[in-house]
Every structure is written in structure tokens, then in C-alpha cells.
Amino acid sequence: MRLSMIGWHGMFKKDFPIFKKTDMVYLDTAASAQKPAAVLRAMDRFYKTAYSNVHRGQCAWAAAATKAYEAARQNVADFIHADAANIVFTRGATDAVNLVAAGMAQTLKPGDEVLISIAEHHANFVPWQQACLKSGATFQVANILPSGELDRADFARKLTPRTKVVAITHLSNVLGVLNDAAALTRSAHAVGARILIDAAQSIAHVPLDVREIGCDFLVFSGHKLYGPTGVGVLYGPADALANLPPYQFGGDMIRQVAVSETTFADAPAKFEAGTPMIAEAVGLGAAVGYLNRIGWDKIRRHEEELMEYALAELAKIPEVRLMGTAEKQSVIAFTLDGIAAEDIGFVLGKKNICVRVGHHCAMPLHAHFGRAASARISFGLYNDAADIDRFIAALREGMRFFK
């Protein structure tokens, strides 16, 4: 395993300009991924050669901008095996969840229930909590097993004909556990519920096919997919988007405005009020193209080897306590006996090693595990065995410092 990963050293890191003049070890991809040159070039080229607003302008720049924007939509659609008409550009996964939750809150009523899991990121927890408070619906939370896996028995008990919405993560940003999105979708549909899959963490690490999952909504952010910040995606089949009320108003989402009445465009325009994030969408389309050129086989092999090596090295440190013992993908959260998570981050930061410390926008999950905070490392294409070696060495040195 070690020799195999040495062979991977630098294979992808060279594609990311930020690493050319630094010795930073970046192990925080779960928070935000670094950007490959292909994305930076695409956005720079768009701003320099074809920037204009989209959809209504008549000049050549407007036509080129509209073509680039809609081509990005098609690229994203192809990436998850959807139709372009089912792809809504948002400001990020958080915005996409809020869009769905705000729309569903208009149809929920007392006696209805919304079911999520305790492992949800706050962005897929709080919007549904607030939707229930506004509508009078009941907020249900399924438990997580000590292994970090979803407690399917508890989930099944809480999934009833009263459940109108299920919202659940595909890949936990703390536990690294991948849920079976297709099986959860079948369960939700069996009781007549709509289901939203939060794919913010999984989108860059596992291939997604929304046709196989069958979900009503799926959301993800561009910045975790090696694309720019400020852009995300809401996927929904035609019927789900048609029945979802709009979230914001004005601009491109309008069909007709009169003093007496306003009518709205069909999806996806119905949900893209105002001037969209045009250059960011172009960058996201380029990020998808970059990953397609690498291919899922290489991506998964690279990350599986990194994960196996990192877990093996952490297992040699008796003081390490992992968050959950189930099989993990791309994310490892842990604590150290007798050392606060913030102190771990401090000593690693002094060694130019970037990790995440805190609750990772998952306070209920940490409370469930009886921990106030944890340290988290997460991998991207630019990571290699040397990064893990430096992380482990700095972690051991920091432990000696605090002892």
C-alpha cells in the first residue's frame, strides 16, 4: 500500500496552481476544495472574452454568455445523469436546501412530519426545523448507531404515512459514512414522502446517478467539487420542481407581471431569480469536465489508498478516538485523549498543516457522540502519502508538547 501511494505522488497536485509555491498540507477538502487550473482558466477566459448577462441580450457577448451558462448546466446534468431542465443553479447546497424547505413549508401542515437524521449538517437540519416551526409540522430525527451508520430500525419506526419529507445526507461530513440513497428513497416513497438527498460531500468522491437513486431532490455545492464558491445545484425531476413553490422573486423567473397578478416561468428559470452566478456556473462546468477527464476509477483508487493509509497510521496512536468505526470515505474525524480539538488544530497549523477543528456544523451529532468538538482531516485529489506522513509526524509532536 505504501509503495503504491508513493507512485501516485504529485500526479494530480500539479494541476492545482495554489500548491506550486507553498509547503502547505491541505487536509480540509470537506470544507472547500482547492481549484484546478482548468477551472481558473475557464472563468478568466469568460470574463476576458464573453462576459455579459444571460438570456435576453441581443449582442454577441450576451449570446456567448448564455451559451456558456447553459452549456455548464448541461455539463452538470450529464455528470449526475439528469436532464438539463432538471438542474437549478443556486448559490450553494445551503441555498438549495433552503429553497426546497421554504417551498415545502408552504404545503406542510399540523399533523405532517419531516424526518432527518442526527448526522445532518446544520444546513440540512435547521431549515427543516424552521419549516416545521412555521407550518406546525412535527420534526423527527433518526438516530445514528455507535458505528456511525444510520440506525435503520429507528429510521423505519419514525418513517410513517404522516411523513411528508425526508431529508438526509448521502455522505456525512463528520463520520465519512455513505448512506444508501436509493434504498432510503424507496423507503420514503413507500409512505408517499418526498426525499431530499444532501450530496454536498459525496459529489466529488463517488459517482452519482439520479436515475438510479430516484430521489425527488438532490443538492450539492460547487466549491466542494473543485469549482468556485457562490454556486450550487438543486436537482429535481419535472414533477417535483413543478409542484415546488418559488423561493425568491424577480428577474428571470418571471413570465408575466401585471398589477393584478404575476405568473412565473417553468423550472429551472422559476428558481433562478435575478442575475445568476454566470462565471461561477462556467467554472463549475469546467470542474466537472476536469473530473471527467481523470475518470472515477482513478479518483476512487487514489482516495481509497489515501484513506487506508491514513487510518492505518492513526491506528498506531493509542490516544486517537475516531468518530464512528464504520467504513469511511474521504473524511476522518477524531479526538485525542486529554487534548482539546482546538489545540490539535493550533499545533498542526504551526506546521503548515490545514485541518478543521470544532463541531463541523454538526452540533447535534457531536452531542450524540458525547463530544464537544473533534479534529477532521479530509482528502482531495491533490493529497498524497507525503501529506499524511507530515500530518502524522506533526500530530505526534503536538501530543508531546501538550503532555
Residues noted as catalytic: 361
Q: What is the pLDDT of residue 7?
A: 42
Measured CA distances, 268 to 212, 357, 377 (Å): 22, 37, 36
| Spatial CB neighbours of 183, under 8 Å, sequence gap ≥ 6 | none
Q: What is the pLDDT of residue 263?
A: 86
Q: What residue segments make up the domains of the chain, in order of their start?
A: 2-31+295-402, 40-292
The C-alpha cell of 130 is what?
A: 424552521
- Distance separating alpha carbons of residues 193 and 190, to the nearest angstrom: 8
Cα 50 to chain centroid distance, Å, stands at 30
Q: What is the pLDDT of residue 403?
A: 66
Q: What is the pLDDT of residue 10?
A: 60
- Please give the CATH number for the structural domain made up of 40-292: 3.40.640.10
Query: pLDDT tens per residue, the chain (403 residues)?
Result: 444 444 445 689 999 999 998 999 999 999 999 999 999 999 999 999 999 999 887 899 999 999 999 999 999 999 999 999 999 999 999 999 999 999 999 999 999 999 999 999 999 999 999 999 999 999 999 999 999 999 999 999 999 999 999 999 999 999 999 999 999 999 999 999 999 999 999 999 999 999 999 999 999 999 999 999 999 999 999 999 999 999 889 888 888 889 998 888 888 989 998 899 999 999 999 999 999 999 999 999 999 999 999 999 999 999 999 999 999 999 999 999 999 999 999 999 999 999 999 999 999 999 999 999 999 999 999 999 999 999 999 999 988 877 6
Q: What is the pLDDT of residue 133?
A: 97
3-state secondary structure (DSSP) of residue 171: strand
- Please give the CATH number for the structural domain made up of 2-31+295-402: 3.90.1150.10
Cα 134 to chain centroid distance, Å, stands at 26
- Distance separating alpha carbons of residues 171 and 328, to the nearest angstrom: 9
The C-alpha cell of 213 is what?
A: 437513486
Question: pTM of this prediction?
Answer: 0.95
Q: What is the pLDDT of residue 265?
A: 81
The H or E element that residue 375 is part of is strand 374-378
